[in-house]
């Protein structure tokens, strides 16, 4: 098979992994030899028409797989075309694209062939070749196979910036139904092992283990798990294993799908709401019990979770932008972490008015009903009206999905 055909198959097979991060690793450059650099911030070299950034060459080593996870395009029982790169081909493509400034590095994953150890050894070999034989200083993300020998994981972390293991479903019951070979306790133990290696004290002269940490991904809407269960699982994973990120990936139709899967794709808006809730939990001081989930355990689709929380907690508003503390400001719908910082700086010099807030580049329409400013006190009716209007504005549907 031609290399170009393999690339088409093995990139197509890799696109269900949402992660494309290339940030937050150690600083490296090529002035002392080799190729490439990492300078903290990641760079998105292109955007596909699905709105997702392309930062890394995201491919599978092979899409042949022993496992039969029903949601996966590469599962054993699927009839997709199969292909397999050699280690040298992946290395050549990575270096070729990198030299042309198309990518920040490589995100390599694989179907499980022969055995978890065999597959993991191949992944490690690609990373080792790039680092040791070509002096590659760019970013490498390796998908980790939890069942593989811990010694291979230890080696993977010496070459890779980031390691990841996808939990895929928030509960073992979900895995039992759709991914019979996957074992949540085994995954958690491997994540624990990675955390130990990542947090181990630095030894001078020894390469840092996975300096960009570990991450994971959950599929949303392939099983019946609620948003509350998903957020419960991610909260537990963040706090237990110091994950940099939990990615949520709305279940998307795949060719040759199993009848055990839901007939329709999950709404992308649901994925978006989960990300918003994830952010509230990590950066806005919210705890899981405060998430505005309904009786079915799901977040409202029609408005963002912070607004939903605010409407259910009128007693916390209005918040005075000239006197309130950071925690209270962070809970105002429409104020992000950055706008809160700007408000805290700006108000040292003058009492803020509404047009000052407008200059801070935030959405006045959204913020106004919840705040007091030097020249503004919200009318009681503002938030009442909001409640009537917003759900209609934000009605989930194909049209809206284009804009978020």
Using CB under 8 A as the binding criterion, the count of chain residues that bind another protein stands at 100
Residue 41 or 388 having the CB closest to another protein: 41
Residues in contact with another protein, shown as a per-residue x/- string from 172 to 211 under the rule CB under 8 A: ----xxx-xx-x-x--xx-xx--xx---------------
Question: 315: which residues sit within 8 A by CB, 6+ positions away?
Answer: none
- Residues 14-43 close enough to bind another protein by CB under 8 A: 14-16, 29-31, 33-37, 39, 41, 43
Can you read off the two tokens belonging to residue 125? Answer: 């070999």
CA dist., res. 103 & res. 16, Å (int): 19
Residues in the chain: 404
Is residue 399 within the footprint of another protein (CB under 8 A)? no
**Cβ contact 108:159 at 8 Å:** no
Least CB distance to another protein at residue 341 (A): 10
Evaluate the CA torsion angle 395, 398, 400, 401 in order and state its sign.
positive
Residue 25 or 383 having the CB closest to another protein: 25
Which position has the token pair 């493509």? 93
- Residues 71-130 close enough to bind another protein by CB under 8 A: 77-79, 93, 96-97, 99-102
- Residues 242-261 close enough to bind another protein by CB under 8 A: 242, 250, 252-261
- Residues 141-160 close enough to bind another protein by CB under 8 A: none
Residues in contact with another protein, shown as a per-residue x/- string from 336 to 375 under the rule CB under 8 A: ------x--xx-xxx-x---x--xx---------------
Tell me the sheet residues that pair with 217: 247
Q: Name the pairing type of β-strands 105-109 and 53-54.
A: unpaired
- Residues 226-245 close enough to bind another protein by CB under 8 A: 232, 235-236, 238-240, 242
Interface region with another protein, contact rule CB under 8 A, candidates 124-132, 170-178, 203-211, 313-321: 170-178
**Cβ contact 188:165 at 8 Å:** no
CA dist., res. 166 & res. 174, Å (int): 14
Can you read off the two tokens belonging to residue 329? Answer: 């400001």
């Amino acid at each position: 098979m031609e290399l170009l055909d393999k690339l088409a198959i093995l990139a197509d097979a890799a696109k269900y992994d949402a992660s494309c991060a290339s940030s937050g690793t150690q600083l490296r450059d090529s002035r002392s030899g080799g190729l490439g650099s990492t300078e903290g911030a990641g760079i998105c070299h292109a955007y596909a028409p699905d709105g997702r950034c392309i930062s890394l060459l995201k491919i599978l080593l092979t899409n042949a797989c022993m496992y039969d996870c029903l949601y996966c395009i590469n599962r054993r029982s699927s009839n997709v075309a199969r292909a397999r790169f050699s280690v040298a081909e992946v290395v050549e493509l990575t270096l070729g694209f990198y030299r042309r400034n198309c990518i920040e590095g490589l995100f390599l994953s694989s179907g499980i062939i022969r055995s978890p150890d065999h597959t993991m050894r191949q992944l490690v070999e690609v990373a080792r070749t790039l680092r040791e034989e070509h002096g590659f200083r760019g970013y490498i993300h390796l998908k980790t196979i939890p069942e593989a020998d811990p010694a291979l994981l230890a080696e993977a972390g010496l070459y890779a910036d980031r390691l990841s293991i996808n939990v895929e479903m928030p509960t073992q019951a979900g895995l039992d139904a759709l991914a019979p070979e996957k074992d949540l306790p085994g995954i958690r133990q491997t994540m624990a092992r990675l955390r130990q290696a990542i947090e181990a004290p630095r030894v001078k002269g020894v390469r840092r283990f996975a300096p960009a940490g570990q991450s994971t991904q959950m599929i949303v809407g392939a099983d019946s798990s609620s948003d509350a269960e998903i957020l419960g699982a991610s909260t537990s994973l963040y706090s237990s294993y110091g994950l940099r990120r939990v990615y949520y990936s709305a279940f998307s139709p795949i060719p040759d799908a199993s009848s055990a899967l839901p007939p329709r794709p999950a709404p992308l808006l649901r994925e978006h709401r989960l990300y918003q809730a994830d952010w509230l939990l990590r950066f806005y001081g919210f705890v899981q019990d405060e998430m505005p989930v309904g009786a079915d355990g799901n977040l409202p689709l029609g408005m963002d979770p912070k607004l939903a929380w605010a409407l259910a907690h009128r007693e916390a508003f209005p918040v005075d932008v000239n006197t309130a503390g950071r925690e209270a400001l962070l809970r105002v719908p429409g104020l992000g972490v950055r706008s809160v910082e700007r408000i805290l700086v700006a108000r040292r010099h003058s009492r803020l008015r509404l047009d000052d807030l407008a200059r801070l580049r935030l959405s006045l329409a959204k913020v106004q009903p919840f705040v007091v400013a030097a020249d503004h006190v919200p009318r009681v009716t503002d938030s009442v009206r909001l409640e009537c209007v917003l759900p209609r504005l934000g009605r989930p549907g194909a049209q809206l999905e284009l804009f978020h």
